Amino acid sequence: MRDIHVNEDILLEEGFTEYCIDSNRDLDLSIRCQNHSQALFRIKRAKSLRIRGFADDGVESTVLFWNECEAPLRCEENYEVNSGSHLVVAYGECAGAAVDRSAYMALRKPEAHGELVSASLVNEQVSYRMNVVNFAPHTLGEIRNFAVVLKHGTLMIDAIGKIVKGAVRSKSHQTSRALSFEEGQRSTILPELLIDENDVEASHAMSIGRVDDEQLYYMMSRGLSLPQCTALLSAGYLLPVTDVIDNEEVRSALRSELERKLSAL
């Protein structure tokens, strides 16, 4: 694992690399993807993060930010995806602290494919602004958000997919789902599609709701306690974010961490 304490320009190495962000200051990071690479960034501590990411032509890269901060975190992020590249940027928000995250991804050249993915355990104020813009023909932009909102949590997601004029035969898809266990919890999801071209595909799906009482009753009738039911259902919502990393040892460790967090809650 490589530690990050100050502003850095990071060139992702081929294969898998793990980083730890641990700083008491505002950080500026530049992340460049020139190879087929996967990176896990564990965020232990930071006042705020400003991130610029670049995917060169013809690369496949995945970046997973695993937020372990116990204090509120603010992030501003911009990503550029070039010709024939596939960039996945994912977030595991599992610390339970407040998060304010703004992520912008530009698909600049033909055949670019970009994804923003989040899985959030919401115990405080969590706010996301996600924007994926198709600037070139034959590009694909995707946004996927999944959240479990706990008793004291407030969730706000503004998901925007945009296809500009001239980006023919491009695609923009998004899915956002929030699950709660009690009445009165506040969740707002705003799915937006801004389409300036005719020959395209675009879709969005959104759901906000409580877990079904009959489902809970069935699980409890099989000997599970309410906290155990809550943890199991939450894990089903949030654990898939670990699948973006193609490393079974890392996925197993992240799943275990999340399961411990859910059990403690």
Segment 113-126, tens digit of pLDDT: 999 999 998 888 99
CB 154 within 8 A of CB 180: no
pLDDT at 265: 66
In a domain, 191, yes or no: yes
- Residues 112 and 28: their CA atoms lie apart, in Å, by 25
DSSP annotation of 240 reads: G
CA angle 119, 172, 238 (to 5 degrees): 10
pLDDT at 54: 97
Return the higher-pLDDT residue of 212 and 49.
Answer: 49
In a domain, 260, yes or no: no
Mean pLDDT of the region 217-238: 79
Least confidently predicted of 125-129, 136-140, 213-217, 243-247: 213-217
192-217 pLDDT, tens digit per residue, is 999 999 999 999 988 887 777 777 77
73-103 pLDDT, tens digit per residue, is 999 999 999 999 999 999 998 777 899 999 9
pLDDT at 41: 97
What is the total count of domains within the chain? Answer: 1
In a domain, 220, yes or no: no
Determine the residue type at 264.
A
Q: pTM for this structure?
A: 0.93
Q: Which of 1, 222, 241 is nearest to 121 (CA)?
A: 241
Structural domain boundaries enclosing 180? 2-212
Mean pLDDT of the region 20-49: 95
Return the higher-pLDDT residue of 112 and 238.
Answer: 112
Token pair for residue 217?
């009753």
CB 163 within 8 A of CB 132: no
Mean pLDDT of the region 179-187: 75
In a domain, 237, yes or no: no
User: Under the phi-then-psi rule, with left for phi > 0, alpha for psi from -120 to 50, and beta for the rest, what region is 23?
Assistant: beta
In a domain, 9, yes or no: yes
pLDDT at 184: 62
Mean pLDDT taken over the chain: 91
Return the higher-pLDDT residue of 10 and 209.
Answer: 10
pLDDT exceeding 70 applies to what percent of the chain? 98
- Residues 17 and 29: their CA atoms lie apart, in Å, by 16
Say whether pLDDT at 107 is over 90. yes
In a domain, 54, yes or no: yes
Token pair for residue 162?
């945009």
Return the higher-pLDDT residue of 168 and 151.
Answer: 168
In a domain, 259, yes or no: no
pLDDT band at 264 (very low <50, low <70, confident <90, very high): confident
In a domain, 256, yes or no: no
